[in-house]
Amino acid sequence: MFARIAGSYDFLNHLLSVGIDRRWRRAAVDCAGDVSGRRVLDVCCGTGDLALEFRAREADVVGVDFTHEMLVHTSGKKRASEVIFARGDAMRLPSGDDSVDFASVAFGIRNVEDRALGLYEMMRVVKPGGRVVVLEFTTPPGWILGGLYRLYFRFLLPVIGRLFSGDNSAYSYLQKTVMAWPSPDRFLDEMREVGLVNCEFRLLTRGIACLHWGDVPSGAGVRSGALQPVGSLESQATPERGAP
């Protein structure tokens, strides 16, 4: 599914969020603190926007996504040649234990089949004292704004997405996964359950999106894989990545 919408992915992200998604990604990088010269693994990186935001702050960045077609569309973006983009599974990240300073994911963790395992893997690869940053949609509080948001997501967004992407299912899938997403408090519990500490969240744009973060107390994993250069990947379309 994500392979089918890769060509229109960036355009629709900016259109459907009225460009606010750029501000949200900058907030995610701000949450990591000073990343200059530090190593960042961006998970479910899609077409690379968050990874490139980290690179703009002079971080050393690897972006990983399951869908080859998404990775192809990183090409030509500003400073994309300075980032390693590779195919990888969020439930078995291609990085060793305690190998990066930060791990991030924007609008992708809700599409990972085993969310707890995805969070655990991010914690595993981050060094002690490092941080895991998660940017995701949520449902705004309040009857008026929350009601308008649900109407937009359930009815208008799938129509616009279908019109511009030509895909009948992708943006219906988006609204279903967002509506099923846990509250910020509940997601913080999930982060704590895998072992992250100092977990907090901040609502963005009156609760349309939410920035979550937690720190890694110690190395906590045993699994590792091998990075695959983008040019050597075969086309696959297994859904692990979402929109924006």
140 cis-preceded (ω within 30 degrees of 0): no
Domain 19-140+182-232: CATH superfamily is: Vaccinia Virus protein VP39 (3.40.50.150)
Identify the pLDDT of residue 188. Answer: 97
Q: What is the pLDDT along the chain (244 residues), one digit of tens a residue?
A: 554 554 555 666 677 677 899 999 999 999 999 999 999 999 999 999 999 999 999 999 999 999 898 899 899 899 999 999 999 999 999 999 999 999 999 999 998 999 999 999 999 999 999 999 999 989 888 888 888 888 887 878 777 767 766 766 656 666 788 888 999 999 999 999 999 999 999 999 999 999 999 999 964 444 333 344 343 333 333 344 444 5
Identify the pLDDT of residue 117. Answer: 97
Give DSSP secondary structure letters for 190-224.
HHHHTT-EEEEEEEEGGGTEEEEEEE--S------
Identify the pLDDT of residue 184. Answer: 95
Query: Which secondary structure element, helix H or strand E, spans residue 70, and what is its range?
Result: helix 68-72
Give the dihedral of Cα atoms 229, 231, 235, 241; nearest 10 deg.
50
CA distances from 139 to 9, 15, 133, 160, 204 (A): 22, 19, 19, 20, 11
Q: Encoding tokens for residue 224? A: 């590792």
Identify the pLDDT of residue 38. Answer: 98
